[in-house]
Amino acid sequence: MKKRITGLFFLLAITINAQVTIRITSIPDNTPEGATLYVAGSFNGWNPGSPTHIMQPDGLGAWTYTVAEGSGTAEYKITRGSWASVEGNESGGYRPNRTFTFTGSPQTINITVLSWEDISGSGSTSTATSNVQILDNSFFMPQLNRNRKIWIYLPLDYFTTTKTYPVLYMQDGQNLFDAATSFAGEWEVDETLNQLYSEGDYGAIVVGIDNGGGERLNEYSPWNNPSYGGGQGDLYMDFMVETLKPYIDANFRTKPQPQYNALIGSSMGALISTYGSVKFPEQFAKVGSFSPAYWFAMADLEDYITETPNDLSGLRIYFVCGENESSTMVDNMISVKNKMLENGVTSDNVFTKIDSYGAPNEAYWRGEFAAAYQWLFQQENLGTPNVEAEKPVIFQNSFGEIIISGIDREITFEMYSLDGRKIAEIPLNNGNNILPKHYVPGVYLLKSKYELNIPTVKIYIK
């Protein structure tokens, strides 16, 4: 009898391990707050509001639903509970059914919902690729007592390997990935990195921090300019080092050492990125300075570079601008570069590019991004690129215990009711885990709070 039960559990583990996970990385900005997202398809009778087919938030800005392994090709769409509120195309109109094919192996399918048919105006064209998601629309910045939208780009092989990645922290996040949110065109950081990956690049995580609109000048300079403001740059960089970077390192597979972390920005974003590397060289050793607005606080910045006691010898900096962007752009950039060289930065770790065609806009910076990224990391040994991830296995046995294998530490799981309500957070480990007995009997969904490669499972409490 024990052999039959063991065999049954083995088959169950194989079935769970061959699931298809549908993962929504982005939804329209005008999606109603608190909306419940459903998947409707050939695998559930095309029920647009099935309570057992609710997409679950993963706590990192995406929504997932896992379909049990089947055969052939399945069709589906995303809804908000009815066919009247089904997803639409780029302009808010009808979009054909989505499809995937069962393969007998685990799959994660990243998708973007472009619009909802019942909400006019939701069809502004999004150009973000499927491996870009909104980490948080309102990430709290305790040092500044305000909130900010944070984007994250994950490399194409993030969910299929165990690799750890360098991280680019980029300013003006709304201009990096999506034409629908950009001020005047986007950098196409996602498309560029995806193309480089296809050509053999190791890959990098990109964290995009939206600028604060009216607070942009204040946050992007630690010094006050009497005509324009500024003065909150220290607090902004404290947020990056004390809050944002620790969160990213704790929840994603990063290389936390300074040589693998870059600050990149343009104009005022280049000013705060340059300053941030001088203030925190033990956190960020790479800098991308595009068309820097050093004029905003030129004397203060040069004095700071000259007087800092910090060791700048490990910094690697890429400067780029157009020779006709302003009357002082080139001279200021060269002067800041020289101050860096005088205080420990080596000449081999500085690259300066001055273009006749350069202009202070996203189109120019988009064309320069790939070269800057590759130069910044060309000397780093990032590791072996093709390491397949061993997917953890999780299931419930006949005694109600949760059995887990393939994780190396305690993991926080979230338990949801089938109507999408979060019931509890439960710490679980490898092996047999006994659930607390105070929960109301019923069917629940159990999913990892942070580890995205762990499958969601349905559990039963009697």
So what's the pLDDT on residue 462? 84
Whether the CB-CB separation of 158 and 334 falls below 8 Å is answered with no
Whether the CB-CB separation of 15 and 451 falls below 8 Å is answered with no
Phi, psi of 271 (to 5 degrees): -60, -50
Q: Are strands 205-209 and 167-170 parallel, antiparallel or unpaired?
A: parallel
So what's the pLDDT on residue 384? 54
So what's the pLDDT on residue 430? 86
So what's the pLDDT on residue 7? 44
So what's the pLDDT on residue 10? 41
5 DSSP 8-state letter? H
Q: Which fold has domain 2-116?
A: Immunoglobulin-like (2.60.40)
So what's the pLDDT on residue 4? 46
Q: Which of 388, 405, 409, 408 is nearest to 397 (CA)?
A: 405
Q: Give the DSSP H/E element, type plus range, for residue 424.
A: strand 422-428
So what's the pLDDT on residue 13? 45
Sign of CA dihedral 37, 42, 46, 52: negative
So what's the pLDDT on residue 258? 96
Q: Following DSSP, what letter does each residue of 233-258 receive, concatenated? A: HHHHHHHIIIIIHHHHHHHS-B--SG
Q: What is the distance between the alpha carbons of residues 179 and 138, in angstroms, rounded to a whole number? A: 20
* pTM, entire model: 0.69
Residue 119's Cβ-count burial label (10 Å; 0-12, 13-18, 19+) is middle
CATH match for 132-377 among 3.40.50.300, 3.30.70.20, 1.10.15.40, 3.40.50.1820: 3.40.50.1820
To the nearest 10°, report the CA torsion of 420, 425, 428, 434.
-80
- Looking at the chain, the number of H-run helices and the number of E-run strands are 9, 26
So what's the pLDDT on residue 15? 45
So what's the pLDDT on residue 91? 62
Tokens describing residue 338: 């020289």
Q: What is the distance between the alpha carbons of residues 65 and 58, in angstroms, rounded to a whole number? A: 10
Tokens describing residue 147: 């909130």
Tokens describing residue 427: 């710490």
Non-local CB neighbours of 386 within 8 Å, separated by 6+ positions: 161
So what's the pLDDT on residue 391? 67
Whether the CB-CB separation of 153 and 132 falls below 8 Å is answered with yes
pLDDT digits (tens, 9 = 90+) for 307-322: 999 999 999 999 999 9
Q: Following DSSP, what letter does each residue of 187-222 receive, concatenated? A: --HHHHHHHHHHTT----EEEEE---GGGHHHHT-S
Domain with CATH 3.40.50.1820 in the chain: 132-377
Q: Residue 118: helix, strand or coil by DSSP? A: coil
Alpha carbon separation from 322 to 176, 293, 305, 369, 373 (Å, rounded): 20, 12, 24, 14, 18
Residue position matching structure tokens 């499809």 = 99
So what's the pLDDT on residue 121? 53
CATH match for 393-461 among 1.20.120, 2.60.40, 3.40.50, 1.10.357: 2.60.40
Q: What is the distance between the alpha carbons of residues 278 and 294, in angstroms, rounded to a whole number? A: 14
Q: What is the distance between the alpha carbons of residues 69 and 47, in angstroms, rounded to a whole number? A: 19
Residue ranges, the chain, pLDDT below 70: 1-17, 91-93, 120-124, 184, 384-391, 451-453
Alpha-helical runs (H) found in 89-232: 189-198, 216-219
Domain with CATH 2.60.40.10 in the chain: 2-116
